[in-house]
Chains A and B, each alone.
Chain A
Amino acid sequence: MEEKFKLSPDSFEALPQAEEPDNEKIAAPSLTFVQDAWRRLKMNKGALISFWIILLLMILSFGSSFFINHKTLVKSAPQYANLPAKIPGVPINGFNGKLKVSGQWVDEYKQNNVPKGKYFVLGTDYLGHSLAQRIVYGTKISLIVALVATFFDLTLGVAYGIISGWKGGRTDNVMQRIIEIISSVPSLVIVVLMLVVLKPGMTSIIAAIAISSWTTMARMIRAETLQLKSQEYVLAARSLGESPVKIAWKHLVPNLSSIIIIQTMYTIPTAIFFEAFLSFIGIGISSPETSLGVLLNDGQKNFQFLPYQMWYPAIVLCVLMIAFNLLGDGLRDAFDPKSRR
């Protein structure tokens, strides 16, 4: 099937010298590391939705600080105790002020002589607090705990790991033994000891998280630093006399950033779970302060008769956990495409 053409030399034309050769040009705009990861993250629907949910919850709960503070939390209204959810204009049983009492839907608002215009979007608890307010506040506590855990992961964990890996030798050995000892004590035990020594509350939970949360991060950073240390660009920087701090900041941290981000996303759900867990068993945050764990514990006592008091905080907590887990998986795939299967 070969065809031969006779081509005359005239059909070829030399390109003018001045014109740039175009074939070396890359059509797509060059992406930075973060842009590239963001592009991959956007393809992951679950992670993207989770990202927006977390952002929304953050804005909602931190924005609410102006309206829901310590004072509004303490204020109780016993005459409105244990009212179910009521959203005006929603005629669905369970959201219209009606509660199922021994198989029948009863309008609790009418029975308790609640004034006409008064309603609670998610109902009230046993002291007449608005459940919606308390859930928003509890979400804020969970997010604060998440931020604190992230903070210690990023500072203590990363710095410890880099120093340990960079110094090597005896320093590394001692630092690793310390981590080994800390991580072979169940973090629960550390938390409990902190709670016994300090007063139960936000401070002791934060202190406990500060002690126990960063070890995994430090280990991973150290392992990676050991590898990066022998890279040529680090050697070059060293031989140019760059100070170790500057090398760590300019060369190590950027190259460690994907590990840092991925590991942080694993720390956050653990921290949120821990706070809820401690408050649930009554050794974390206690009244009049509230958190999702406290709300769950309160709701659990009346679950048989007032199921909504447990369901709403449970749903919020689960959504928060699922969102962080999904976003974590998404970020892992986005920042470390090799791990994707």
Chain B
Amino acid sequence: MRKYLLKRVFYMILTLFLVATITFFLMKLMPGTPYSNQEKMTPHQIQIMNEQYGLNKPIWMQYLLYLLGMLHGDLGTSFQFSNQPVSYLISSRIGASAQLGIQAMIFGIFFGVIVGSIAAINRNTWIDTTSTVLSIIGKSVPNFVLAVLLQYYIALKLGWFPIADWGGFSYTILPTIALGVGPLAETARFIRTGMVDVLNSDYIELAKSKGLSRFGIVYHHALRNSLIPLVTLIGPYTVALMTGSMVIENIFSIPGIGEQFVKSILTNDYPTIMGVTMLFSAGLVAVILLTDIIYGIIDPRIRLSGNED
């Protein structure tokens, strides 16, 4: 177990190192300088700026400094957003994104499990068909389309929730739904398939013949066993939520990482792009490692060993 963990952590660091290296050199390849959008700077001023930001040093030196800085949590200075350090830009915005992401994950999994279980219990009835159709639609409708529709019809027309911006809990509801419907649909399909399997197994027959209540059977026996594989979906969901946050935060004007990322891409703010890239990669790598460990703990049948893929 310990050997396995060490190995995994090593690969994790290797991955992040490669990402950092590739992003750094890609960004260095890019045309343009940080000053290209500010007119009228004398060569002397540019030279002073270059010295201040270490841009006059050879590239390998800049690269080493960048890696060293990263170890201290220093991701450089933003070109575009009033010279703020990237780490500050990120840390001041991560709260909103994290809250939204976690809420969406909980919303998606919770309701997905409910919908999926109900469909499995009522297999091959109209309830099952309806939930299958709904989950296909939920999976297919892009979240940004859903977000615009929710914003217009629920927030503007009905006035139930704020249209945009970031304030209290009520501001988070629509973005959470827009982000969470994809995971909800996926979870529902997943749980339904797993539960139908479990419901056909012998121990469910036994529980039935013992005279346990329907709810008791579903809750104690069927649900718990179908929940375990769900852990493997948390990684892909994290990716989906990171991706989704870019567009959902934009639509609802939420001051989060995703919105910042889009802004920095559109304005060629390389240090911020690199910073957020590192953050997203580190987040995903950490989530994948965590879910693998959790999976091994809650389901001892899964062997955690380095040899198996």
Where the two chains meet, the residues of A that have a C-beta atom closer than 8 Å to any C-beta of B are 176-177, 180-181, 184-189, 192-193, 195-197, 223, 269, 273, 276-277, 280-283, 296, 300, 303-304, 310, 314, 317-318, 321-322, 325-326, 329, 341
Check B284–A184 contact: CB distance below 8 A.
yes
Say yes or no: B15 contacts A185, CB within 8 Å.
yes
Complex A-B, nearest 8 residue pairs according to Cβ-Cβ distance, in ascending order: A321-B140, A322-B140, A188-B243, A181-B15, A314-B145, A189-B277, A184-B285, A186-B239
Asked if B152 and A269 sit within 8 Å, CB to CB, the answer is no
Which of B66-74, B97-105, B165-173, B265-273 contacts the other chain?
A: B265-273
Contact with A along B117-151 (1 / 0, CB 8 A): 00000000000000000001101111011001100
Say how far B42's CB is from chain A's closest CB, in angstroms. Answer: 29
5 more CB-based (< 8 A) A-B contacts, given A185-B281, A186-B280, A277-B243: A181-B15, A196-B268, A318-B145, A321-B140, A329-B136
Candidates B12, B144, B152; contact of A303 at CB < 8 Å:
B152
Task: Decide if B266 touches A188 in the complex (CB within 8 Å).
Answer: no
Q: Which residue in chain B gives the minimum CB-CB distance to A323?
A: B140
B18 within 8 A of A: yes
Closest to B283 in A: A186
> Which among A193, A195, A276, A329 is the interface contact of B142 at CB below 8 angstroms?
A276
A304, B152: Cβ atoms under 8 Å?
yes
**Is B11 in contact with A180, judged by CB distance below 8 angstroms?**
yes
Alpha-carbon distance between A230 and B11 when the two chains are bound, in angstroms: 30
Whether A283 pairs with B148 at a CB distance below 8 angstroms is no
In the complex, which of the residues A193, A276, A326 contacts B277, with contact meaning CB atoms closer than 8 Å?
A: A193
Residue contact A188 to B14, C-beta cutoff 8 Å: no
Q: How far is the CA of A282 from the CA of B27 in the complex (A)?
A: 20
| B284 in complex: contacting residue of A186, A273, A303, CB < 8 Å | A186
Q: Can you show 18 pairs from A to B with CB atoms below 8 A apart?
A: A177-B11, A180-B11, A181-B14, A186-B280, A186-B281, A188-B246, A192-B277, A193-B277, A197-B26, A280-B142, A283-B265, A300-B251, A304-B152, A310-B148, A318-B140, A318-B141, A321-B141, A341-B197
Q: Smallest Cβ distance from A291 to chain B, in angstroms?
A: 13
From the candidates B136, B141, B243, B285, name the one contacting A326 in the complex (CB within 8 A): B136
Complex alpha-carbon distance, A223 and B308, angstroms: 11
Tell which of A187, A197, A273, A304 has the most Cβ of chain B within 10 Å: A273
Whether A193 and B246, one on each chain, are in contact in the complex, defined by CB atoms closer than 8 angstroms, is no
A282 to B268: give the CA distance in the assembly, Å.
Answer: 13
Whether B268 lies near A277 (C-beta < 8 A) is no
Are B145 and A296 within 8 A (Cβ)?
A: yes
Contacting pair A321 B142 (CB below 8 A): yes
Q: Does B250 contact A (CB under 8 A)?
A: yes
